[in-house]
Amino acid sequence: MTEQEKIKKYIEDENRRLAALPKKVSQDKYCYRGTKVLKNKLHITSQEVLKQAERKIVGANLTYIQLYPVSGRFDIQHLKDIHYLLFGNIYDFAGHLRDTELSKNGTNFCRVDMLEDYLEETLRKMRQRAATITDRSSYVAFLAYFYSELNMAHPFRDGNGRTLREFMRQFVQKKNDDLSFGKYELLYSKMDKDRLLEATIYSVRHDTSLLEQEFDQGLMELQLEKQDRNFKTR
């Protein structure tokens, strides 16, 4: 059995285990009563319609902030600002840390009472350990590790993946200022979306080796013409 087949089997086993557990019915305060549809500024009560509207709006917002990155220190406020700019015209909770417990695909994310401390400590370590990046290999390992650690926080009620990916992309863009071994960009289009998700789930109970494979695909050396363009737009 290949490593990829082992991962798929692990996720399938986890899903079967979760499906067999007793279901607790509770009302999510972030959702319209009796539904799983998030309360939104567009007053959409259909999950499918909301998903379509969100995809269009967030896609446009993402394009904007990729052209005009959020200024920040890669701290909690920076993460909040990215989330707000992506989702602020859809949800009232945009830019605010969640105040309810959250789980997904069998993973229980950071407890609410520990969330802010966990985020502060993880982001502090990320800023501190950035100085230990000495070559592309250590860079890939660094990105995979902190992507996994920040994913475990899942600080917002929704939109965590898109916010985290943009946060990491901006980190790579900013890190170019002091890299001695080249200039890079993080292209998620070079990664396999399904494998990235599987690797993220796998990293919770195992290690980040599979995430490293995906970040190895996505961390691309910046072409000279792009370096010139990025310099001119600062």
pLDDT in tens, 173-195: 999 999 999 999 999 999 999 99
In angstroms, the CA 136 to CA 138 distance is 6
Assigned token pair, 76: 């909690």
pLDDT number for residue 166: 98
All domains of the chain, ordered by start, with CATH?
A: 3-232 (1.10.3290.10)
Mean pLDDT is lowest, of 68-72, 91-95, 155-159, for 68-72
Tens digits of residue pLDDT in 67-81: 999 999 999 999 999
pTM for the structure as a whole? 0.85
In angstroms, the CA 35 to CA 208 distance is 35
pLDDT number for residue 57: 98
Assigned token pair, 72: 């920040």
* Partners of residue 221 on adjacent β-strands: 184
In angstroms, the CA 86 to CA 160 distance is 11
In angstroms, the CA 137 to CA 134 distance is 8
pLDDT number for residue 223: 80
Q: What is the DSSP string of 116-138?
A: HHHHHHHHHHHHHHGGG--SHHH
Conformational region of residue 43, where left means phi above 0, alpha means psi within -120 to 50, and beta covers everything else = left
Tens digits of residue pLDDT in 120-142: 999 999 999 999 999 999 999 99
- How confident is residue 15, by pLDDT bands cut at 50, 70 and 90? low
